[in-house]
Structures are given as structure tokens and as C-alpha cells.
Structure 1
């Protein structure tokens, strides 16, 4: 079973597509063209008793109507593909190339979870509990100090600083952002 300390979640398998074992995937990577290359071997994490192999080798990867479809050497048909539903695909962190230093800032979920959330004055607002990848923008899941869960748009105007070494992010929240769920 993959663990978050030595593996990077790349995708979650959805439903089968067609009769030859292809599956849809919910992508959790910012670079699917590099990650979904034929020959790539993913570690798997699935519900116990599903019979999912511990590793899957990509044989085909294509984009169909903005959804990635993957085929695996170990899965020859639709019946096998159906058994993969919900399986998470991981890559060993040591085999994942880090982005170049001059690229725009990007972080993996495991880098962000657990970071303290501060306002610009330094007051603790809460803690990052997750990252939701979106088509237009990403969202930080934050548990506030009063235990409420909120979503914060992960854009430079609001999340003004991410300091992994210092263990915090700075959130300059517009008025009402944390009060949207209150009536």
C-alpha cells in the first residue's frame, strides 16, 4: 500500500471506457502528459479484497473530451477495468522530477497539508487540510481555529505567501470569505 510520505498521488481511477480495458481517471497532477507515458508503472491503493494488482503499467494514454483515458498491461478488458474503480495511482516521490526553479510556483498536496494558515498580521487562522484541483483555479481546504472547514481560492491575490520551510501560508482573505456559510 502506498503511503503519503514516499509516494505522490497522481490519479484516481473512475469508470471503464469501451471494451478494451481503458478507464477514465481523475487527474491529481499538473503534468499529465509527462506522468501518463506508456511504460510508466504506478503503485496502486484500492479497497481490500478487490483483487487490484499492486502495480499497473500504462500501455495507452489519451485525452477524450477533456478526460484522460488510460489502459494498463495488466487489464485486458472491461470486466478488469470495472474492478479498478476508485483505485488510487501513485508514483514513488524519488522518481518524480521536481519542477524547474524558474517555473511558476506549484506545490503538491502533501507539501501543503498541515501548514499553519496566518493572516498578514501573523495571527493564526487555522490549518491547511487539503487541496482541491480545479479546472480554472485550485482551492485550499482550511480548518479554522473554531473548527469550521472553509475553501480558500488558491490564487496569489488571496494566498500571498507559501513558506514550506517556515510551515505556514499567508492568507489575505477578503471581507466575508470565512463567513460565507453563516446565515
Structure 2
């Protein structure tokens, strides 16, 4: 299975380094020196990571054969893709890879259908499930223990106990205001 693990940002300095928008929970595993990654667009890669470091909170990578700023700038917006064993599990039993969570059905603790996870957004403070509702709208649900009470990979579902207002429809909110 192939997973997008990062997107290359702008060049950094004059020696071929690039900033990277990390899209994996395990950058040290997927983006370490020696890792060979396929790319989108495919014509750019594969790319081999020569070195990496964190600078001002951003991951910087240098790729084999990319020796200067011009070469680094040519890589901007390229997606980096890693081959991952679909049966591989994170070491911590309470952790999941994005590909395990995508397409899970999301239901409340009382069984009410919310929708389906279409994306995981990794923010600095927390991760968010982007959930597509049956009507096509989207709702963002923080992936925190207090809200996401269960992940059942066998049943392909995530159970949530959202606080009031997190997933309520605007129509439901409006009608509850009218009743007040």
C-alpha cells in the first residue's frame, strides 16, 4: 500500500534543502535518511533522503542529487509517497495510521450515523477527523479520547461522544433556538 507521507514546500538556503509538510504520524520512520520515496508527479522521483533536521519547528530534508536551491525549488509541491505494509500497526495500541481510519463509519454512542471519515487533518494541537455526512456536508471532529470513545477496525467504525454543538445541523440549532 502506498501512502502520502509529506508534501515538499519551499527551498531552504542554497544547499538543496527543502521544507516539508509532514503527513505522517511517524516522520522518523518514514522520512529518515536512506528512505526511498516515490513521488507525485511520478516524473520527479523516486527520491532518496540524504539528511533531515528540524529548524524553527519545520522539518528540512535534503535529497540525493539535489545540490542547490534551483534543484530544491523544482521539487516544490511534490508529494512524497512511502510503501507501507497494510497489516503494519503502530507500536502503541491506541495509535492508528491514517489509512486505517480513512473510510471508517462514524457513529455516536447511541448508534446515530454521522458519516464517513474522508481525511485526517494533522494540526499542531490535535488531529481532526474530516467526516463526510450523508448529505455531502463535512464536519470536523477532534480525534481526542474525550470525544472519540472507540475505534473498531474489525467493524470499520469510530464511535464518538460529541459535546453539544459539535456536529449539530444548523437546522437543529435553529429549531432549538425557536423552541426557547
TM interval, shorter chain, is: 0.7 to 0.9
> What SS does the corresponding residue of 2:94 show, helix, strand or coil?
coil
CA distance in 2, matches of 1:84, 1:124: 42
Gaps of at least 5 residues in structure 2 are 175-180
CA distance in 2, matches of 1:59, 1:114: 34
1:131 corresponds in structure 2 to 120
CA distance in 2, matches of 1:139, 1:83: 31
> Deviation digits for residues 30-49 of structure 1, max 9, x if unmatched?
22223332211111112x7x
Gaps of at least 5 residues in structure 1 are 1-5
2:149 corresponds in structure 1 to 160
Q: How many residues align?
A: 172
> Deviation digits for residues 101-135 of structure 1, max 9, x if unmatched?
xx251222221111111111112111111100111
CA distance in 2, matches of 1:128, 1:29: 17
> What SS does the corresponding residue of 1:156 show, helix, strand or coil?
coil
Q: TM-score, normalised by structure 2?
A: 0.87
Q: In structure 2, which of residues 28, 34, 47 is the aligned counterpart of residue 33 of structure 1?
A: 28
1:110 corresponds in structure 2 to 99
2:64 corresponds in structure 1 to 73
